[in-house]
Amino acid sequence: MAGWSSGGHRTCCAGCCPRRLNEPTPSVTIDLAPIFTSEPAQFAAAEDAVNALGLLAMTRAFTASQRLLVLDWQHPCWWFWPHRQALDDDPRWPVEIFPNGDYYVFLSEDMTTGTFGHPWEQTLCIFGDPLISTLSPLLTSWPPVKRARSF
């Protein structure tokens, strides 16, 4: 895929991804439980919508040349270019922001901005002002906010 390249041979190790993230300041944690409990067609549509809104927000928050580090629990890490992904003919992502089965982390290279998807808590933590100001308004009109840490 044009928007992705391997970030090396490292994988996340057991114990390096917490069972619950201590959210940074600022951050907004979205409660995805209503999506997880919906009927199958609504779940699939909502999962796609969260991923599409996440990509839209990333193209607004980051420059076209900016890459993000993507961590997928116990899998290889990846570099991800949101603008390239948005223009790719294949809309599928190797890892998406919606945490459907694993912890998924998208991080700016300076690690100040990104998302942390928690599958068992069924949450999506959005942190760092550039992404909070773009993604949070898109999502908080629909799934509820579970926690928020202000500036």
pTM to 2 decimal places: 0.85
Backbone angles phi, psi at 79, to 5 degrees: -95, 140
Residues 11-43: pLDDT tens digits?
Answer: 333 344 445 567 889 999 999 999 999 999 999
CB under 8 Å to 121, separation ≥6 — which residues? 20
CA atoms within 13 A on the CB side of 90: 7
CA distances to 23, 71, 76, 125 from 30, in Å: 12, 19, 26, 6
Residues 56-107: pLDDT tens digits?
Answer: 999 999 999 999 999 988 888 999 999 999 999 987 888 899 999 999 999 9
pLDDT of residue 20: 57
Which pLDDT band holds residue 2 (cuts at 50, 70, 90)? very low
